[in-house]
Structure 1
Amino acid sequence: MTTTDTPVTAATASSAPTASVDLTLRDISSGAASGSSCSTELLDAPWDVDARDPGYGPGASMADPIPAASPRQGEIPQEYRDASTEELDRRIRAAKAELGDRAVVLGHFYQRDEVIQYADYVGDSFQLATAAKARTDAEAIIFCGVHFMAETADLLSGPEQAVILPNLAAGCSMADMADIDQVEECWEQLMEVYGGEVPGDDGRLPVIPVTYMNSSADIKGFVGRHGGIVCTSSNASTVLEWAFERGQRVLFFPDQHLGRNTAKAMGISLDEMPMWNPRRPLGGNDEQALHDAKVVLWHGFCSVHKRFTTAQIDKARAEHPGVRVIVHPECPMPVVDAADEAGSTDYIRKAIEGATEPTTFAIGTEINLVQRLAAQHPQHTIFCLDPVVCPCSTMYRIHPGYLAWALESLLDGEVINQISVSQDVADPARLALERMLAAKPAPVGAAPERATSERTTSER
């Protein structure tokens, strides 16, 4: 695989022994392994979690408040809840074989290994959306990820294709931190400060909205309507350059850390990056600060990557001299600055694959990916910076029981949990995505993907 647009195949992902976070948690709980987890409820069946009060579930986002209107998963048939691991494996493989090319299963890097083993493609949200777009022969796209990813797959797939999210409760707390009402209100206030969407003497608009891929279709639609663009963690600097060609400033949401790390590496000072708190007038700023701004950062974050600290990096360096520290750019700025490298999930994967000599890696991203990489590359020492096992709460809501239910429902002629984006949102959202697709990062070797720290490395 030579480009980020091509997903890893499941065969590649399973070519070496896997490391199951679920088994790790059970070993810790039983005393068979040392260590700790952030919640004993991670051992609970996801359908038991679904039956509780609304929330993101145990894991990194468990303390994040969830919007009242967030989708909830209804009770799935008892046969899937009662089925053994062996029975689910048999039923999933049999259903996939019978469906053939009619259905494609996509698995995000952060999914548990018990689900990844059945994926036809494994990758990040953008790679999997691209895979969905390419599989025009599939009647159904089963997206083992979270809600905003399934929405993006629906936007890029054909109108006759059905996108299925096995568990509707698999949302994203960061995506939920910027809802459409808050963003519309923010825009109205900014337009009052900047005098409307009127180009200046240089022909640039007062502000261009940029949203991270990790956002709802509503937000992508908003961006498309207002001349903006979507970005990924691998092309954020390219997208910001695109935006500055067209606007004097950028409104960046929902992840403040990706926005701050990317803009800082481009030479923008922290004083020129005010934070917008949607619960306060003018986002908690005065008009002068907004006029002086280059990038207005939304008050959002990823609860997985917020867990990483500079103290963890210091400990890794003290215990493992020569360790290579790589973190995701959704981590806070001090963590990115202290690391050797920062880059997307696929950047991290490629950095490890490209290491020709045995190397010790300390990785700052979601534990399912870290443990899988460690199992796939036993010649290296690979560990997660955070010693506490705390997976993405919502990715962990997907379970083989839900996948079996989705596949066998298709065999019965029923499409369950279909994710559909309304046409009025879909058209401008696709426009924003098309702009993103056209804003390609520099080719390999030409410029660093992580221009998110003063310690730069070669591009992907």
Structure 2
Amino acid sequence: MTLSINDLIVTAPGDTCDAELAKQPWEFDRFPGYGPGASETDVIPAPVTRPGQLPAAYQRMPEAELHARIRAAKQTLGDRLVILGHFYQRDEVVQYADFVGDSFQLANAALTRPDAEAIVFCGVHFMAETADILARPEQRVILPNLAAGCSMADMADEESVEAAWEALTEFYGDDETVPVTYMNSSAALKAFCGRHGGIVCTSSNASTVLEWAFEQGRRVLFFPDQHLGRNTGKAMGVPLEQMPMINPRRPGLGVDEDVLRDARVLLWPGFCSVHKRFTVAQIEQARAQHPGVRVIVHPESPMTVVDAADAAGSTDAIRKFVAAAPSGSVIAIGTEINLVNRLAAEHPDKTVFCLDPVVCPCSTMYRIHPGYLAWVLDGLVEGEVRNEIVVTDEVAVHAKVALERMLAALPKAD
């Protein structure tokens, strides 16, 4: 059974989810922060650079009419339109996607529709930027709600990364540090990697990317997600003591010189507020309540959680894990609730549930609502491009280098 947003609200001790989750996203688009469902631990972006907007008529429009408009616009636009939907999108939006997948899959999917005039990305800002970089010049990329950012991506800004890079270059005195940015980062940081011989990675191909990076140099600067970097490096045999977490705001990056000298993976202090919530205690409780349960978590989860689980993998790997499990299996998943609920609905012969009893959807993915999708599609029918995402040529040329390296670094077979 698929749950509604109202069904997902849970009040419990230690709850750090926004209690106003049930409100509509347009009620929060003009305020700082990431909106309904956001964790109190999220870093609030300042200033607000991605204000949302939705005309009042669409805010008041009955749900049935919104969906009728979306269907009609899709039929009218036909092959001129392609809609991409991330796994974490709510069901009432993802049902209209021509392609559903993780960030790696959707980056590739956009390339398969070169004749589409408009790419509507039901995801978050950095994903739409990536689509614009990879798209043909005449294609228009649209993000239904401009307020759909990413708290993790905002934890690494260009100025801080440049400062850290300068400090590392001064300390090492060589050119053997390779920058690797997670897909969850701005186009500017992807361009930074392109300029400095680096690469972009996703959770699907992180190990392939790190192997490539170690072939290019002695060490890697990995940002913004510390957990994906640490978990991937550990799985490849890199000792923890050689993966220090730097602090770009402290002298010497906050790392002892001897440790810095021997480092192989330099981790940025970023994280995903959804995946940070998963704990070893939750896994232990799942095992106690469901003997024989299989636990799989996303590699954005803390290392102790990944170590305690039976498996870890990208959103697509999680999907495949559930599909491959025999009928009657009990599976606990550590990732965003919309995907978990969708998998539970798709596999009624299996018991599939979320590890976290306090359910937190990705607050920024939640920003994409059928009202925004209907509004931007109506605009296309009327010949108006609304909420277009445009990456400047200066940034795009270098970012594309790093992204093309990413696309060539195929994920390892499951």
TM-score by length of 1: 0.87
Alpha-carbon offset, residue 60 of structure 1: 3.8
Q: What residue is the counterpart of 2:229 in the other structure?
A: 259
Equivalence map 1:127-146=2 (5 Å):
127-146=105-124
Q: What residue is the counterpart of 2:161 in the other structure?
A: 183
> Given the alignment of the two structures, is residue 336 of structure 1 paired with residue 306 of structure 2, yes or no?
yes
Q: What residue is the counterpart of 2:49 in the other structure?
A: 71
Distance (whole Å) between structure 1 residues aligned to residue 66 and residue 253 of structure 2: 49
TM-aligned CA distance change 1:75 to 1:236, over 3 Å: closer
Q: What residue is the counterpart of 2:22 in the other structure?
A: 43
TM-aligned CA distance change 1:258 to 1:39, over 3 Å: same
Match of 1:436 among 406, 411, 414: 406
Distance (whole Å) between structure 2 residues aligned to residue 277 and residue 218 of structure 1: 20
- Matched residue of 1:106: which SS? strand
Distance (whole Å) between structure 1 residues aligned to residue 311 and residue 259 of structure 2: 31
TM-aligned CA distance change 1:238 to 1:72, over 3 Å: closer
Match of 2:87 among 104, 109, 112: 109
Match of 2:140 among 162, 166, 176: 162
> Given the alignment of the two structures, is residue 367 of structure 1 paired with residue 337 of structure 2, yes or no?
yes
Of 417-426 and 399-408, more deviation after overlay is shown by: 417-426
Alpha-carbon offset, residue 62 of structure 1: 4.7
Distance (whole Å) between structure 2 residues aligned to residue 146 and residue 348 of structure 1: 21
What is the root-mean-square deviation of aligned Cα atoms in Å?
A: 1.5
- Corresponding letter in the other structure for 1:97: Q
Contact preservation (8 Å) 1:256, 1:297: yes
- Aligned identity (percent) is 68
Match of 2:64 among 66, 77, 86: 86
C-alpha deviations, 1:22-66, integer Å up to 9, x for none?
25237x69xxxxxx8933211111111113x21111214454123
Contact preservation (8 Å) 2:41, 2:273: no
> Given the alignment of the two structures, is residue 291 of structure 1 paired with residue 261 of structure 2, yes or no?
yes
- Matched residue of 1:50: which SS? coil
> Given the alignment of the two structures, is residue 345 of structure 1 paired with residue 315 of structure 2, yes or no?
yes
Contact preservation (8 Å) 1:62, 1:393: no
Q: What residue is the counterpart of 1:22 in the other structure?
A: 5
Contact preservation (8 Å) 1:20, 1:114: no
Distance (whole Å) between structure 2 residues aligned to residue 71 and residue 322 of structure 1: 47
Match of 2:35 among 50, 57, 62: 57
TM-score by length of 2: 0.96
TM-aligned CA distance change 1:329 to 1:367, over 3 Å: same
- Corresponding letter in the other structure for 2:374: A
Of 58-67 and 273-282, more deviation after overlay is shown by: 58-67
> Given the alignment of the two structures, is residue 217 of structure 1 paired with residue 205 of structure 2, yes or no?
no
Q: What residue is the counterpart of 1:317 in the other structure?
A: 287
Alpha-carbon offset, residue 70 of structure 1: 4.0
Aligned residues: 411
Contact preservation (8 Å) 1:54, 1:72: no
Distance (whole Å) between structure 2 residues aligned to residue 120 and residue 54 of structure 1: 32
TM-aligned CA distance change 1:20 to 1:115, over 3 Å: farther
Distance (whole Å) between structure 2 residues aligned to residue 60 and residue 326 of structure 1: 23
- Matched residue of 1:143: which SS? strand
Distance (whole Å) between structure 1 residues aligned to residue 16 and residue 263 of structure 2: 41
Q: What residue is the counterpart of 1:193 in the other structure?
A: 171
